[in-house]
Amino acid sequence: MQISSKDFFHLIILVSVIFLIAPTFLIAYVIISNRRKKKHFEEKELLQKDYESKLLRNQVEVQEQTLQAVAYDLHDHIGQILSLTAMTLGSVDLDDTSRLADKINHAEDLAKRCIQELRGLSRLFHGEELLSKGLVKAIEFELEWIKRSVNFTIDFSADSFVTAPDAQDKEIVIFRLFQEILNNAVKHSKATEVTVKLSNTGQCAQLAIADNGIGFNVAEVFGKRQGMGLHNMQKRTELVNGRAEINSEPGKGTLINIYVPL
């Protein structure tokens, strides 16, 4: 069967069109693909900048809250203790031997309390230094200090926790949250037992702190001014893409879970 010259001409045109269209589609696909890759890269950079900005704001907020805590303790705790110490020493009568020893002992106790409070403040400024040895070691150091200072039974476990490379910024946030939660348990919960567990849950670090204290109504506290501490805790956790779960009931203690992706 012979192909007519007309059919042959049409075939040549068809093949030519195919060879022209195929590269055009290929070039168009490459251009569109490159644009998509560029857009994805730009979006990724924007997300990274947004995350870094949020993390920086979080660190600034933590620093501000730390300074506020220092100012509060200096004014309301250490200042009062030093005032009482000065008043006690000022009222010492060397001729009144019956009360001399009691007043000196009382002044000594006040001075020891003042030293204890100052040590507590110093810990707020050395979180980053403690973390140079890792989050687990930093928490262990903090808990040892609490054990020596307060009559608490503390159980700490972190056997399954594995840190992530380049996660120090997030570990600082976790450690500050741990300090805040533990401080609340010591000062307000009237607890005698505290359990701390640090572990990995999927791609997240999980910090769980439970106490057997007096507990509180979570919804009620959130609706009042004293709930600002809980709001700040949740906000700081969210800034590093994490979440905070606060569970408590009056008379049944408190359990706080912090999840932060590493």
Torsions phi, psi for 244 (to 5 deg): -120, 130
Which sequence spans correspond to the domains of the chain?
Answer: 134-262
- Assign domain 134-262 to a CATH class: alpha beta
d(CA 157, CA 117): 27
User: pTM of the entire structure?
Assistant: 0.57
Tokens of 178: 């741990």
Give per-residue pLDDT as tens, 70-96. 666 666 567 767 877 887 788 778 777
For the chain, what percentages of helix, strand and coil (3-state, to nearest 5) are there? Answer: 65, 15, 20
Going by C-beta distance under 8 Å and a sequence separation of 6 or more, which residues neighbour residue 28? none
- Sheet architecture: strand order including 193-201: 153-157, 193-201, 204-211, 254-261, 243-248
- Average pLDDT, integer, range 57-82: 66
Question: Residues 227, 195: contact at Cβ < 8 Å?
Answer: no
Question: Residues 155, 236: contact at Cβ < 8 Å?
Answer: no
247 pLDDT more than 90:
yes
Q: Which of 10-19, 106-115, 222-231, 237-246 has the highest mean pLDDT?
A: 237-246
Give per-residue pLDDT as tens, 146-200. 776 667 788 999 988 888 777 777 888 888 889 888 888 877 888 889 999 999 8
Question: Residues 216, 252: contact at Cβ < 8 Å?
Answer: no
Going by C-beta distance under 8 Å and a sequence separation of 6 or more, which residues neighbour residue 104? 92
Identity of the amino acid at 193: E
- Confidence at residue 255, expressed as pLDDT on a 0 to 100 scale: 95
207 pLDDT more than 90:
yes
Specify the 3-state DSSP secondary structure of 148. Answer: helix
Specify the 3-state DSSP secondary structure of 242. Answer: coil
